[in-house]
Amino acid sequence: AQEKAKKLYGLNDDYEVLFLQGGASLQFAMIPMNLSLNGVCEYANTGVWTKKAIKEAQILGVNVKTVASSEESNFNHIPRVE
């Protein structure tokens, strides 16, 4: 299944495919627990769901950095990450 997913999305062996259970809220906890580098996670704030993800990461003690945000324009676009 992992190889089929890689082929479907054109991914090489530099990428891993993860099959994870749970809804969005569970993923918000799993991402910082498993993928944060040195206890840091970077987020592009695009609205309600990002705010929930950031809050969950902070509960877990992760140092959160917002690298881009469209909050100043009421989240009417996806911000460019530089």
Give the pLDDT confidence score for residue 10 in this predicted structure. 96
Beta carbons of 54 and 64 less than 8 angstroms apart: yes
The pTM of the full predicted model, rounded to 2 decimals, is: 0.68
Distance CA 75, CA 77 (A): 6
Give the pLDDT confidence score for residue 14 in this predicted structure. 96
Written as tens digits, the pLDDT of the chain (82 aa) is 999 999 999 999 999 998 878 887 888 888 898 888 888 999 999 999 999 999 999 999 999 999 999 999 999 999 999 8
